[in-house]
Amino acid sequence: MKMTRLIVLFLSLALAVAGCAPGGVGTTSDGTRLYRIGGSSPEKVQYRMLDSVNALRRARGAQVVELDSRLNAAAATHSRDMSIQNRPWHFGSDGSSPVDRVERAGYPGRLTGEAISETYETELETLGAWIDQDDTRAIIVDPEAQDMGFAWFQEDNGKIWWTLIMGTKAIPQG
C-alpha cells in the first residue's frame, strides 16, 4: 500500500511541476487548505485522474480503463446531488442507487463500483485516500472494470464532491 501511495504522490508532484493544474491551491481565512478547480478545461482533471488510475491498475496487473461519457455524466449528476444533500453517500436525493444512475445515463454495461468523497483536496490526493482504503481500492483496481466515469462539483466555499464510477461492458449471462 505504501508503494501505491508513493506512486500517487509522485504523479501528483510531477503534474504540479509540469504546471498542468487548471486551478490553484491556497488557504481560506481559517487556514483550511483550498484547491480551486479552474473552469477552462475539466477534461484535464478527468484525464489526470484516468492516467493515475491506469498507472495504479497496471501496477496491480489489471487492464487499463477508458473514460466513458455516460459514466462521466452519471458521476457529475451524483456529485451535484451530494452537494445539495450536503452528505457524501451513494444514494441520490430521489432514492436512486449507483446502478440506477448508470442505467439512466444510458451506460450499456454493468456498474462494478463507485467511490465518493467530500473534501477540499485535489483529485490526486483524493485518489490517494481512496487507494488507502480496502473497499475503494478494490473498486479502482477491479480487474473486471473496463470503463471509468469521473466528475465533481465544487461549491462556492471550495468544498469538492468527487465521484468515480467504474463499469464493465460485459453483462454476464445467466
Is residue 103 a part of any domain in this protein?
Answer: yes
Residue 100, domain member (yes or no): yes
Cα 16 to Cα 155: distance, rounded to the nearest angstrom:
23
Is residue 29 in a domain? no
Q: What total of structural domains would you count in the chain?
A: 1
In a domain, 74, yes or no: yes
Residue 7 falls within a domain, yes or no? no
Q: Classify residue 28: in a domain, yes or no.
A: no
* Each residue's pLDDT tens digit, 112-170: 999 999 998 899 999 999 999 999 999 999 999 999 999 999 999 999 999 999 999 96
Whether residue 60 is contained in a domain is answered as yes
Residue 134 maps to which CATH number? Answer: 3.40.33.10
CA dihedral sign, ordered 35, 134, 169, 96: negative
Domain that holds residue 104: 44-168
**Domain annotation covers residue 119:** yes
Tell me the pLDDT tens digit for each residue of 80-108.
999 999 878 898 878 899 999 999 999 99
Residue type, 126: T
